[in-house]
Amino acid sequence: MSSLPHGRIVVVGGGMVAHRFAEHLCQRSPEGDWTLTVIGDEPHAPYDRVHLSEFFAGRTPDDLVLDAGPWSDPRVTLVTGDAVADLDLAGQTVTTRSGRVEAYDDLVLATGSWAWTPRTDGTDLPGVFTYRTMADVVALDEWVRLRSEKLGRPLAGAVVGGGVLGLEAAAALQTLGTSATVVEFSDRLMSVQLDPGGGEALRVLVTDLGFDVRTSTGATRLGAAGDGAVATMELSDGSSVPADVVVFSTGVRPRDRVAREAGLAVGERGGVVVGPTCRTSDPSVWAIGECASYEGECTGLVAPGNKMAEVVVDQLLGGTATYETFPEGTRLKGVGVEAASFGDVFALTPGALEVTFADPVAKTYKKLVVSDDAKVLLGGVFVGDVALYPSLRPMLGRPLGADPSAFLAPEGGAGVPSLELPDDVVVCSCANVTAGTVRGAVTEHGCTSVGEVKACTKAGTVCGSCVPLLTKIVNSTLEKSGIEVSRAMCEHFSMARAELYDLVRREGLRTFSEIVGAHGTGRGCSVCKPVVASILSSLGPGHVLEPEQAALQDTNDHVMANMQKDGTYSVVPRVPGGEITPEKLLVIGEVAQEFGLYTRITGAQRIGMFGARIDQLPAIWTRLVDAGFESGQAYGKALRNVKSCVGQAWCRFGVKDSVGMGVQIEMRYRGLRAPHKFKMGVSGCARECAEARAKDVGIIATEKGWNVYVGGNGGFTPRHADLLAEDLDDERLIQVIDRFLALYVRSADRLQRTAPWVADYPGGIAELRRVVVDDILGIGAELEAFMAHHVESYRDEWAETLADPEKLSRFVSFVNAPDQHDPDLSYTSERGQVRPAQAGEVADPNPVIARTLEVRR
């Protein structure tokens, strides 16, 4: 047994808790004389299983891999794809399936758990999956894609289990274009976490998403199709449902086989028995995470496992830390609706009181459970609106300091009381970070932003649910320390973009000089000038290259084209809905050939032409405008594109004209300047071929009308859009989008995309729905008028530029030598086209596609 920072340490298991152990050991003992070997059976390095469902939003397995920092330590060895098959306690060795033998002084079992499947006939059929590992989601994705291609229709999907993971699996099936029937043996969804009222509220919300929910029943038999794959599911209530793909999410069991066979003490309900130090019945063996049984219970959450990992590290380094169970909360995310709970959800504490607020119109449900004197918080349930969850969960077991009903009161009441969390309250349970640690990061370690605090403490870096609360604590601590939490746009404007926008709009200011004179100082900078330019453009005062407007624009807007890596520009004409005639295709081909441009079909259903010099842009656009094209605004903080599938016109699954709707909304919102670029998508059915839910505004056709989703995006931090309204006719759809976009343009922060704007909206998507759809603030007509003005005043920027000699005079390579061209431009040939020559490459003097610079001069 080792109690000093030296010796051979082996971790069996390669999941998140094993990663936390390795990370914490390296941090706590940077100079320790020890070696660590982590052995995982999955082929991947430890990955973020909490966000596993984001695989279906476009994140790759590599994207989900956790920080590789621990594996760069020369004392640490990571073994993947080789499970431990045998544990020899007497010899203090483990042997893997491949025959690898590792000796240890201390062994840490972090084997996790496995997905349990109930006894049901047919679970071995092709098309039946569990939802637990990276391999599970990859296999599910591949099956749905290949099976739907083979059958030539959308698949019918079924999920057995209505818990958090089951609902995530159902949402994943929908993302893959598959229907989702959720079968739950209990009388409600998330029956462990939600009371009957919360369960019913959640049922309403997920049914609105298109889930078919079957509660109080179970799966008894899976039937096969002619080729042997799963096709039907029979239920215990006598009914059956079609099921071309089935996902079981019915709970987990601790992976304790190796420990059990080695003779370690195992709990009655499974799991390796541990005490407060996380030591097992063998003094040289420890167990952490989901495989450990503490006081007869195995945890299924990451946060307690991380705490166990830290306890064992401390014990190995001679410390005295011990593990204690702590009440944990559960939050449903990534499904399209939100639900959360913590503590004594069912008011089982003697004398406990329940304070409930339900809004059937907004489809929200909130409940607090408090002590018999209504002072101490014992638990909470939130469905549809979970804004209070991050702030109240840490107060579990503590006095609230206010009337519980005040926290649940609807908008317009006395307001939610403020909470000053004590220092010992755990803010981030995943990393076990207290409010005092967060405050100390500011006051003792000099952190001045949430990002710096996250890097310093690791708070908010796992599931992310604590970030809103973390932000409040950081800002409050900065202010108390005498450090102003600046919301200024820059040194020239002391306000945020939304406040400045409102002032400009109300006061009718129309130039930067007027704006900075009234509300700012100095001459402006590269931060505030483009913001003011965007505000003025969205309010429609004139062309972006009008004299004072032009000076505000950034590089791309200044020449109405996107600059590329070699200093040339791209040309992307608008192709509404992705629909283009053969005649227009020919023009694009002729232009690209004449100017030697590289051509590519973009991911947004547009044709991009790359490599145009600044002096060539007017000639190129003259040809395009004459052919009926207009600017695609691919360079601006504006509508980029509306992607659409072929819809009802051609697709046998389409239920509405997605192309027609795509063209209509692109022509309506073209040129709309906003705080950030935004994209839209229109899918003609629930198969979602236009990937509408990955867009800022997504529209999906149903048999009843249009459903509109908002706040989605792909990119570095992908996010599924939230359902804003459903079953809309064409007129109502346009009205809702008008209001949403106008409100976004008016109130978002500088360079804030719709995804974080929607996520941060006070009251969440439920409140945004009330403002936009229900018009509770009475501003609907005003927002619609703003958009109507935009539509009426739209002018194609390039067409107007070509008609104005003064604007055209800007398009020269060198102001002092307008007839000269950049001598550093050099190109090479690749796959039949040209591209910029890279460092070390010899430029091709005669590229295969005639990019003849001399001819074009």
Binding site members for [4Fe-4S] cluster: 645, 651, 685, 689
Q: Can you state the angle between helices 497-507 and 528-539, rounded to 10 degrees? A: 40
Question: Side by side, which strands form the sheet with 230-235?
Answer: 219-224, 230-235, 240-242
**Distance between CA atoms of residues 173 and 157, nearest Å:** 7
In Å, what is the CA distance from 538 to each residue of 501, 531, 668, 718, 766? Answer: 10, 11, 14, 26, 27
Using DSSP's 3-state secondary structure scheme, residue 242 falls into strand
Per-residue burial over 738-777, b if 16 or more Cβ lie within 10 Å, else e, is bbbbbbbbbbbbbebbbbbbbeebebbbbbbbbbbbeebe
Could you give phi then psi for residue 50, rounded to 5 degrees? Answer: -60, -35
Structure token pair of residue 128: 């039946």
Please state the residue numbers annotated as binding site for siroheme: 689
Measured in whole angstroms, the distance separating CA 759 from the mean position of its chain's CA atoms is 10
**Distance between CA atoms of residues 543 and 803, nearest Å:** 12
3-state helix vs strand vs coil in the chain, percent to 5? 35, 20, 45
Burial class (CB in 10 A: 0-12, 13-18, 19+), 225: middle
Measured in whole angstroms, the distance separating CA 399 from the mean position of its chain's CA atoms is 34
Using DSSP's 3-state secondary structure scheme, residue 387 falls into coil
As a whole number of Å, the end-to-end CA separation of the chain is 80
| 185: Cβ contacts below 8 Å, ≥ 6 apart | 216, 217, 218
Structure token pair of residue 852: 């003849």
| 98: Cβ contacts below 8 Å, ≥ 6 apart | 82
In Å, what is the CA distance from 237 to each residue of 213, 219, 835? Answer: 14, 9, 64
Measured in whole angstroms, the distance separating CA 54 from the mean position of its chain's CA atoms is 7
Beta bridge partners of 76: 36
Structure token pair of residue 416: 């939610």
Please state the residue numbers annotated as binding site: 645, 651, 685, 689
**Distance between CA atoms of residues 413 and 215, nearest Å:** 37
Q: How many CB atoms lie within 10 A of CB 477?
A: 20
Q: Is 630 left (phi over 0), alpha (psi -120 to 50) or beta?
A: beta
Cβ-contact 416, 408 below 8 angstroms:
no
Please tell me the total number of residues recorded for the chain in this structure.
857
In Å, what is the CA distance from 285 to each residue of 262, 280, 649? Answer: 11, 6, 65
Using DSSP's 3-state secondary structure scheme, residue 62 falls into helix
